[in-house]
Amino acid sequence: NLHSEVNDTQIFYSWAPVDGAAEYILYYSTEPEVTPSDTSTRWVRTREPELLLEGYKEQDYFAVVTAVAPSGVESAPSKQLQTSLSITPLMVLDFE
């Protein structure tokens, strides 16, 4: 149930909370087929079912999220979500 919204150089990820989860791990990459064990994958831990990532450049990002139980056991990853971050100008001036 992973969802994303983009704004300039930010990606806001959100997902449905999982009963009993102590925290979540969002795994993301610029390469498709994100897996937690992939060396090109970055990750961020959070206690909330949402996360704002800032300072990213214009390209595609792929992400999955897992829930972590208080015992430390991590769930299987969510379905992969592809997010396209594109910066389009609001207005283009041509003085000719």
Pairing, β 59-68 against β 50-54: unpaired
pLDDT in tens, 8-48: 789 999 999 999 999 999 999 999 999 888 878 899 999 99
How much is the pLDDT for 65?
97
Q: Which of 14, 2, 11 is nearest to 87 (CA)?
A: 11
pTM: 0.84
pLDDT at 14: 97
- pLDDT tens by residue, 43-83: 999 999 999 998 878 889 999 999 999 999 999 999 999 99
Are 4 and 11 a contacting pair, CB within 8 Å?
yes
